Chain A
Amino acid sequence: MLRYIAQRLAQAAVIVAIVAVITFALIHLAPGDPFTGVMDNPNVSETVRQTLRAQYGFDRPLPEQFVKYVNSLAHGELGWSFSHERPVREVLATALPNTLLLMVVALVGSFALGIVIALVQVARRGSATDHALSGVSLLFISMPDFWLALLTLLAFAYWVPLFPVGGTVDVMHEYMGFGRRVMDRLWHLVLPALTLTALASAAVARYQRAALLDVLPADYIRTARLKGLTERQILRRHALRNALLPIITMIGLSFPALLTGTFFVEKIFAWQGMGYAVVNAIGARDYQLVMGGVIIGSVMVTLGSLLADLLYALADPRLRG
């Protein structure tokens, strides 16, 4: 077990190192440098550009730049955000809690909902309900995240104005008492979280339905049936338990899609998270902030899948010991 954890940790470290190389290559192999984009104002003279390049070390040889880059990454330095006029680290650090809140709510919501849908489907496999739910999941996994977010915004913020149009909190948030503040934040969380949950739970339901149908022919299910257990007991106690293991893997695998979805959803609902910051930085050509977001996003995904693998090892008695 300990050996497995050590191995898996080392593997994650290698992945993060390769990610660093890839992002470095992206920055330097691409035509131009951060200053061609930000400084395409004709009034900025070549001298100023050269000075800036020298200040940021872009005129040094590549190997030297790489060592510096890795060193500053290791210290959590991600560069300077031109559009926020603050270090990228600070911009992302203030945005990260909002992103994590949204992701955790969506993750918990979608797995709970997805598993329930799968159970309903498998309990009535082959019925009209099963087919209808399969159709709905198929529809949702075929939807682009940003399109569903736009439609949700349109439907529940404009046409039927039940929820706020966007933002993380109300303008009067600072003047509210504690209870009202919590309510206010939750109120703003509903639509973005709902959109993400709808998208992710469809994928979970499809996956979990297949996993449940996979274990149903197993011998222990037949034994349970012979013992006289009801179909419901079999599903809940025997099938679900064994079909939950792949769910842990699925959690790890779903991080990239969830993070991507969060980016779009945050942008559309003006939820002040990492995705909102990064997508706006693209418009502002704030290159350092964009790359900072790419790096942090990748590290989050790596950590997520690492965590899922460790959880799997903990949950599966066969790997324990």
Chain B
Amino acid sequence: MPWQTQDFAGSSAPVRLRESPLGLAVRRILRKRSSRIAFFVLGVILLVGLLAPLIAPYDPAAQPDIVKLKDLPPSFAHPFGTDPYSRDVLSRVIYGARLSLTIGVLATIVSLTFGVAYGAIAGYAGGALDAVMMRVLDAFLSIPRLLLLIGVLVASPQFSIGALVVFLGLTGWFGLSRIVRGQVLALKHAEFVTAARALGASRRRILWRHLLPNIVSPIVVAATLGVAHVIVLEAGLSYIGIGVQPPSASWGNIIHDGADQVATLWWMSLFPGLFMVLTVMTLNILAEALSEAHERR
């Protein structure tokens, strides 16, 4: 293992710098063909979202001719067809990639912040505080996330996409903080932590410099799965009409617009869904490869 090859015994070989656990994991998972393909596909989807204004053939919100151009099946002019407002579905799916991925990543950052803080505090503090914090977590975990979100979103009459991101993030950290707590608990009495404490390091320093860097891998795995979850959840909420509000296009939102006439407007369900499945699948593959790489260590 590279980070153990540091040789202090005056060997003439150059001392190899310690590679970060994450960099090592990434290098390791790229050895697998399936993860290389997943990386590539995810990269393409990210690029599509990033370059949406350059790629999209039409304005995603434009309603050019609501009589003649509505509900058109896929054709050369409109590869994914048009919707009941005569908007081009392909352009909406491309812009949808941008919005759905952004929401997924931002909400996961919110979840990570809360989950890591909560789990690290509970695990490091231990005792009564830990017990109380875990019971509260149990309660949150026993409300299905979709129901919790439905409760919150229905209670807020008007909300922006930013608020949606915060809600999605705030309902997504429970499982993660349990993982973090378990890891911190397991490492709390490790020798390097005792050594740091003996050297007079503060609690904060021990948590940030010694404990957290050692649990990066499970956190990254959880975050990868978290992004996938949020994408599906946002789509579900948008599908039932309480997620991303029109005229913004997200993958779930597009499906929502065509769901009442799914028999005739099948292209409105099929195409955004395919993009979603592809994204979620690549994220799942990468998460699995990452956790395998971590276990093999």
Contact = CB atoms under 8 A, between A and B. Distances in A.
B155 interface: yes
B242 A154 contact: no
A149 to B, nearest CB: 10
B173 interface: no
Contacts of B151: 23, 26, 290-291, 294
A293 B148 CA distance: 11
Contacts, number: 135
Interface string B227-254: 0100010011001111000000000100
Given A147-B255, A147-B276, A287 B145 contact: no
A30 B145 CA distance: 17
Interface string B250-294: 001001000100110010011001001100110011000000000
Given A30-B155, A30-B156, A151 B147 contact: no
Given A263-B146, A293-B147, A138 B270 contact: no
B236 A146 contact: yes
A154 B139 contact: no
26 contacts: A15-B138, A18-B139, A19-B143, A22-B140, A31-B155, A31-B157, A32-B155, A37-B154, A138-B281, A139-B281, A142-B284, A144-B232, A147-B273, A147-B276, A150-B269, A154-B263, A256-B142, A256-B145, A259-B144, A260-B144, A263-B146, A267-B240, A282-B240, A287-B155, A290-B151, A301-B143
Interface string A288-305: 001101100110011001
Interface of A: 11, 14-15, 18-19, 22-23, 26-27, 30-32, 36-37, 138-139, 141-147, 150-151, 153-154, 158, 256-257, 259-260, 263-264, 267-268, 278-279, 282-283, 285, 287, 290-291, 293-294, 297-298, 301-302, 305
A146 B146 CA distance: 13
A138 B142 contact: no
Q: Is the interface of A mostly helix, strand, loop or mixed?
A: helix
Contact of A138 (B135, B241, B263, B284): B284
A153 B276 CA distance: 19
B143 A22 contact: yes
B216 interface: no
A100 to B, nearest CB: 16
A139 B279 CA distance: 11
A260 B142 CA distance: 12
Contacts of B150: 278, 282, 290, 293-294
Nearest to A148: B273
Interface residues of B, number: 42
A149 B285 CA distance: 23
B144 A32 contact: no
Interface of B: 135-136, 138-140, 142-148, 150-152, 154-157, 228, 232, 235-236, 239-242, 252, 255, 259, 262-263, 266, 269-270, 273, 276-277, 280-281, 284-285
Given A37-B157, A146-B236, A150-B262, A294 B143 contact: yes
B17 to A, nearest CB: 36
Contacts of B235: 144, 146-147
A297 B155 contact: no
Contact of B284 (A141, A153, A290, A305): A141
A31 to B, nearest CB: 6
Nearest to B240: A279
A290 B153 CA distance: 11
Contact of A297 (B144, B242, B276, B277): B144
A151 B236 contact: no
B144 A144 contact: no
B236 A264 contact: yes
Nearest to A306: B142
A189 B140 CA distance: 32
Contacts of A145: 236
A235 B235 CA distance: 40
B273 A142 contact: no
A263 B255 CA distance: 17
Contacts of B154: 37, 282, 285, 287, 290
Contacts of B242: 282
A147 B277 contact: yes
B3 to A, nearest CB: 28
A267 B269 CA distance: 15
